[in-house]
Amino acid sequence: MKCVIGCDVGTQGLKVLLWGEEGSILGVETEEFPVLYPRPAWAEQEAGHWWEAMTRAVPRLCARAGVKAKNVVAIGVDGTVDGFLPVGARGEPLAPYILWMDRRAVRECEKIEAQFGAEELFRLTGLNVDASHTAAKILWTRAHLPEVYGKAWKLMPSTSYVVYLLTGKVVVDYSNASSTMLFDVVRRRWAPQLLEGLGIDRALLPEVRPATDVVGHLTVEAARALGLCPETLVVVGCGDEHASCVGAGVMEPGVVADIIGTAEPVCVSALGPAFDPSRLVETHCHAHPERWLLENPGFVSGGNYRWFRDHFYEGPNTSYEVLNGEAEAVPPGSEGLIFLPCMMGAMAPEWNNNARGVFYGLTLAHGRGHLTRAILEGAAYALRSIVESMQQAGCETKEIRAVGGGARSHLFRQIRADVTGIPVVTVSTVETTALGAAFLAAVGAGLGKDLQEVAGRTVRVVDVVEPNPASHAIYDWGYQAFLHVYDSLRECFEICAEQLFSQET
């Protein structure tokens, strides 16, 4: 039986999945690596951790599944979007990888907006002028690390760098490119007016190709390190939330993908480029070569839950089931306690680099379980604001398909259904991100005619959580309170951010 490997280079670790051509998942392996927070609102990774993790996980995956190297015909890679790595002429990282959640480039965003205008940029790129996007981080690096920028041969997202390590070739797909704020999302090409206006050399950027295209074979060195054959094909790959949509079967309109991980991207497929007038939802290219994706790229969600566990429970050794149990003992609405999930800025209910996390409504009657549940409810309120914007943009949202690690929790799914009033569905696996990367590899290797056909061999609905009417009524009030709290603090966020920036400079 022929097999393919999907490799997900995530925020907190790497996951590899082995998929057999008849549709079975033969194994999954995970390796964790750290996120570095050198200063407030900064987030980085050492790119060397990705390759180290891959060389440990792939041989273990094949060994435990009992699959011979000659049966692995292709590899697909996905990785975090909105980040970049400056790479030297010998392929070496010149600085840490700046992650999607990093907010250091706020001042660069102000310059970009003044030069091009937010509306014009949105029409061209489909993106908001935001510090999460790659263009602002590139400008920050050029201004603050000129020696690094001057030595750069290529500027790569994580997917491109791992594919480079596998093949020696530098490529990027439409989905990753469309997250950079340098890409014409309608014409699917680098935008020359942006590159020229910002002074970014086109030669620094990867070649853009469809996610399912074959880049080449593994190099001899990569094959040896992974325990695979040099004949193994490698496809271009894509962004992580885009892979998750493919792995969840979200390739046609009407189904919302809610990807509950460290961040929580929320996406809906579109047959053509569509634009949300409120700009809460951006327009990206889908990993599916013939689709676009309306998405909110992801407020910090599971990352908040992990932070709370690590600092207010017994640390990383505490099971999330302990947190879930305490949260479940608290009634819907957390007895008036509201949490704003803006620990690294806001992407819902609006985009705001300067917003920060807030607990509002604390009394002496509240305990740790209330705070725990409020974190879950805050994520669901943010989800609702995004879904409402999709509806206002004319998108049908008949179901929410929950995927990612957080989708394993019935409590997570029930709260989301109760807050939004929309059924929350789960599919046969929550490992949809690495699975989506595997589907890309399968199509590239000729194991299926297209992504829908390949996904149809594996993806099926296994559970539906319906909204509870009584809880939904409570959450209608909670959602309005959530919006009021955020609105009331908007000016405070701006004042405090200005003071913090003045201290840093």
Last residue of one domain, picked from the residues 220, 241, 262? 241
329 and 226: one domain?
A: no
Q: Using pLDDT thresholds of 50, 70 and 90, give the confidence band for residue 297.
A: confident
- The one-letter amino acid at 118: A
36, 126: one domain: yes
Query: How does strand 183-184 pair with strand 97-98?
Result: unpaired
What share of the chain has pLDDT > 70, as a percent?
Answer: 99
Stronger pLDDT, 262 or 480, i.e. the higher one: 480
CB count in 10 Å sphere of residue 196: 11
pTM, to two decimals: 0.86
Residues 348 and 434 in one domain: no
**Judgement on whether residues 95 and 202 belong to the same structural domain of the protein:** yes
Q: Which of 215, 241, 267 is the last residue of a domain?
A: 241
14 forms beta bridges with 9, 31
CA distance 219 to 444: 18
Indicate if the pLDDT at residue 264 is higher than 70: yes
CA 285 to centroid of chain Cα atoms: 14
For the chain, the domain total comes to 3
Model pLDDT for residues 227-238, shown as the tens digit of each residue: 999 999 999 999
Q: How confident is the model at residue 261 (pLDDT cuts 50, 70, 90)?
A: confident
Q: For residues 116-130, give the mean pLDDT.
A: 96
- Residue 477 CA to residue 386 CA, distance in Å, equals 17
3-class SS of residue 225: helix
pLDDT of residue 503: 60
Structure confidence by residue, pLDDT tens digits, 43-70: 999 999 999 999 999 999 999 999 999 9
Q: Which single residue is written with the structure tokens 């800025």?
A: 345
- pLDDT tens per residue across span 402-439: 998 899 999 999 999 999 999 999 998 888 999 999 99
pLDDT exceeds 60 at position 363? yes
Confidence (pLDDT) at 497 = 84
pLDDT band at 499 (very low <50, low <70, confident <90, very high): confident
Pair (342, 486) in one structural domain: yes
**Domain check: are 138 and 234 in the same one?**
yes
Considering the domain architecture, whether residues 52 and 125 belong to the same structural domain is answered as yes
- Across the range 115-144, mean pLDDT stands at 96
Q: What is the span of the domain harbouring residue 364?
A: 303-379+469-504
pLDDT (mean) for 71-94 = 97
The answer to whether residues 82 and 216 belong to one domain is yes
pLDDT-derived band at 41, boundaries 50, 70, 90: confident
At 136, which CATH number? 3.30.420.40
**What pLDDT, on a 0 to 100 scale, did the predictor assign at position 396?**
87
Question: What is residue 502's predicted lDDT score, i.e. its pLDDT?
Answer: 60
pLDDT of residue 501: 59
**What mean pLDDT value characterizes the chain?**
95
| Same-domain pairing of 172 and 70 | yes
pLDDT of residue 286: 96
Q: What pLDDT, on the 0 to 100 scale, is given for residue 387?
A: 96
Asked if 355 and 451 sit in the same domain, the reply is no
- Taking Cα atoms as reference points, which of 2, 167, 208, 186 lies closest to residue 77? 167
- DSSP designation for 60: H
Neighbours of 265 (CB within 10 A): 28
Q: What is the mean pLDDT of residues 498-502?
A: 69
Structure token pair of residue 420? 């939004």
Question: What pLDDT does residue 430 have?
Answer: 80
Q: Based on the fold, state whether residues 323 and 346 are members of the same structural domain.
A: yes
* Average confidence (pLDDT) over 300-310: 95
pLDDT at 340: 98
Domain match, 334 and 297 both: no
